[in-house]
A and B are shown apart, each in its own frame.
Chain A
Amino acid sequence: MTPQSCVTIQKEWDIVGARQLGRDIAKKMGFGTVDQARIATAISELARNIYLYTENGQICFEVVENMNRKGLVILSTDNGPGIDDIGRVMEDGYSTSGGLGAGLPGVKRLMDEFDVQSEVGVGTKIKAIKWAR
């Protein structure tokens, strides 16, 4: 496992920074262009959620390796308002900000593994993994 590299999300342009870092790591790990685009898009969605709904948060990247495969872990942590009903935000078309409401369910489909932990008033932690093929 390699040490984490993190990007703090406060301004809109930090989203671009997180995306570029994630894409670079994915490229170095040998992901194909389609998977790179998927990873970059997933990072973009997660980072935008931090930017839109919380004061600040972080996007961290980690490379995990087990016996027969290698994967990129994206960790999104914030101490924002938290998600009241996780089942609801995972529905397509549900949005509180007038967006398309495809963000989180979209990330789940873009990545291989996806996990949300959230507590109202404390914050949200999202972990998403893409395995290299």
Chain B
Amino acid sequence: MSQDFKKIVIENSDSIVQMWMSEINSLKQDNYTANISDELFESTNREFVNVIFTSIKNQGSVKVVEDFSEKIINLGWPLSYITDGLQVFRRVSVDYILGQSVKVDSAHISDVMKSVDVWVEPLIRQLVNEYSGSWEHIVSLQRVALQELSAPLIPVMDRITVMPLIGTIDTERAKLIMENLLEGVIKHNSEVVLIDITGVPVVDTMVAHHIIQAAEAVRLIGSTCILVGIRPEIAQTIVNLGIDLGKFPTKSSLRKGFTRALEITNRKVIDLEDNEESIEKMIESLRGE
């Protein structure tokens, strides 16, 4: 039975394609693909319908479908273009086969539906899988990229390290911050670590809690942690929340924090003078360290 239907569809592919094209074109008007040029839309449709027919003819020609889905993904067309296209194809083919049939009863209709479904469903499945696979791939790449950016540690100077934090801190990131901080302090042999929260939009009790824990852990391994970049509004909310940050030093800006860090490590920034003597003196003092 199914073979007969397949024969009908393949033999009359021209008229089915025409019906399909006109339906798809009517979808274009008020839909997602409105800003795509007519020629491109036309040629992609032709390719799409060819893919459908090749895949029906030789049950599951994976390569063609893969190539086509890759093309659609690269064009950036929505997934609904593919699903709509295949739904329309299903509808058109069922209509056409029924139109050709001599006797039409419910058993016959259900037969037709079933066999058309058998052709179309694996196609939908494969195309949707390819499509969502490519999204998942992008999301996982971005997650890795984000993780790399999430807790950077910069050794700005001998014994002084800075960790600038930008963006929301969630539990996963808080864990990373703690790990990187401790690892970095040991690796760079830092005496002072500056945590800069200028770019953190909201400091609630959870964020504060994680920062306090990180600072406490840094203290345990013998370094000092200075919290810098506390904006005035953040300072007020921290006070309102009743969070006690009294255990470790805080500064309003990275610059002030850095000056303090230099003081802790017994250094300071000196303006260079023309006087050669003073330069020599400074070189001398640098050597002394």
Secondary structure at chain B's binding surface: helix, strand, loop or mixed?
helix
User: Which of chain B's residues have a CB closer than 8 A to the CB of A109?
Assistant: 240-242
Contact between chains at A40 and B243 (CB < 8 Å) = no
Contacts of A41 on B, CB cut-off 8 Å? 202-204, 237, 240-241
Known: A45-B204, A48-B206, A106-B242. A13 touches B170 (CB 8 A): yes
Q: List 24 A-B contacts (CB under 8 A).
A: A16-B168, A33-B233, A34-B236, A34-B237, A38-B233, A38-B237, A38-B240, A40-B201, A41-B241, A44-B202, A44-B204, A45-B205, A48-B205, A92-B242, A99-B209, A100-B205, A100-B243, A102-B242, A105-B242, A106-B242, A109-B240, A109-B242, A110-B237, A110-B241
Render B238-249 as a binary contact track against A, CB cut-off 8 A, 1 for contact. 001111000000
Q: B201-239 interface mask toward A, CB cutoff 8 Å, 1 = contact, 0 = none?
A: 111111011001000000000000000000011101100
Q: Which residue of B lies closest to A34 (CB)?
A: B233
Interface residues in A, total, Cβ within 8 A = 24
Residues of A at the B interface (CB closer than 8 Å) are 12-13, 16, 19, 33-34, 36-38, 40-41, 44-45, 48, 92, 99-103, 105-106, 109-110
A65 to B208, CA, bound (A): 34
Interface: B35 (CB within 8 A): no
Closest to A45 in B: B204
A33 to B202, CA, bound (A): 12
B209: A residues at CB distance < 8 A: 99-100
Report chain B residues within 8 Å CB of A100.
205, 208-209, 212, 243
Most chain A CB inside 10 Å of its own CB: which residue of B206, B208, B236, B242: B206
Check A37–B243 contact: CB distance below 8 A: no
Tell me, in angstroms, the Cα distance from A99 to B208 when the chains sit together: 10
B233 touches A37 (CB 8 A): yes
Is the Cβ of B171 less than 8 Å from the Cβ of A12? yes
Query: When chains A and B are docked, how far (Å) is the Cα of A93 from the Cα of B38?
Result: 66
Given contacts A45-B204, A103-B205, contact A34 B232 (CB under 8 A): yes
Contact B205 A99 (CB under 8 A): yes
- State whether A12 and B236 are in contact (beta carbons under 8 Å apart), knowing that A41-B202, A103-B205, A109-B242 are contacts in the complex: no
| B234 engages A37 (CB within 8 Å) | yes
Known: A102-B241, A110-B240. A37 touches B202 (CB 8 A): yes
Closest residue of chain B to A36 (Cβ to Cβ) is B233
Of A16, A19, A37, A40, which one neighbours B236 at CB under 8 angstroms?
Answer: A37
CA distance A99 to B210 in the complex (A): 9
Smallest CB–CB gap between A7 and chain B, Å?
15
In the assembled complex, the Cα of A38 lies from the Cα of B26 at a distance in Å of 52
Q: Which residue from B170, B205, B232, B236 sits with its C-beta under 8 Å from A38?
A: B236
With both chains docked as a complex, state the minimum distance between the C-beta of B202 and any C-beta of chain A, in angstroms: 5
Q: Give the complex CA separation of A36 and B236 in angstroms.
A: 11
Which residues of the other chain, A, contact B170 by a CB distance below 8 angstroms?
12-13, 16
Query: How far apart are A121's CB and chain B's nearest CB, in angstroms?
Result: 26
Contact of A106 with B205 at beta-carbon distance under 8 Å, contacts A38-B240, A41-B241 already known? yes
